[in-house]
Amino acid sequence: MADNPALRAVAASGLAHEIVEYGVVHSVQEAAAARGVALDRVIKTIVVRRGEGDLLMVLVPGDRVIDWSKLRGVCGVSRMSLATAEEALAATGYAPGTITPFGSATVLPVIADASMAGLASIGGGAHGVAINLDADDLIAFFAARLEDVTRPG
């Protein structure tokens, strides 16, 4: 089993969880199938920029995408963008496709989409590794703001 900061962090969290290892995937649809979960249970962790050096994480169900207008309204800013791969790696310690709030090199604010409920299958800090846990536990553990910030993908 992969050993990385995310798995160490979730193990230390005390949260009930399951580690799922699977092969290489090329889409969120493939990730859902490989994890044995519905597409809306796969949680993408997206690092976004509010301003120069001002980053946050947005937890987005696999069947949804960020609604930038809603997210700007929630954050009270007029402009936002995706962090570059380099910015995300520097802030989290994880490469794109492996980013998770668990074990992140920098503690970033977290916004969770309001549609999240039940099982959450979030990235496990390495390709082919997921952490399955209850969405409410995930949201509470990171003191995430639960907001309507997505639209169907």
* Secondary structure of 68-129 as H, E, C letters: HHHHHHHHCCCCCEECCHHHHHHHHCCCCCCCCCCCCCCCCCEEEECCCCCEEEEECCCCCE
Q: Could you read off the pLDDT of 117-142 as tens digits, one per residue?
A: 999 999 999 999 999 999 999 999 99
In the chain, how many domains are there? 1
Tell me which residue range forms the domain holding 73. Answer: 5-152
2 falls in which pLDDT band (50, 70, 90)? low
Q: pTM value?
A: 0.96
62-77: average pLDDT = 97
The CATH number linked to 31 is 3.90.960.10
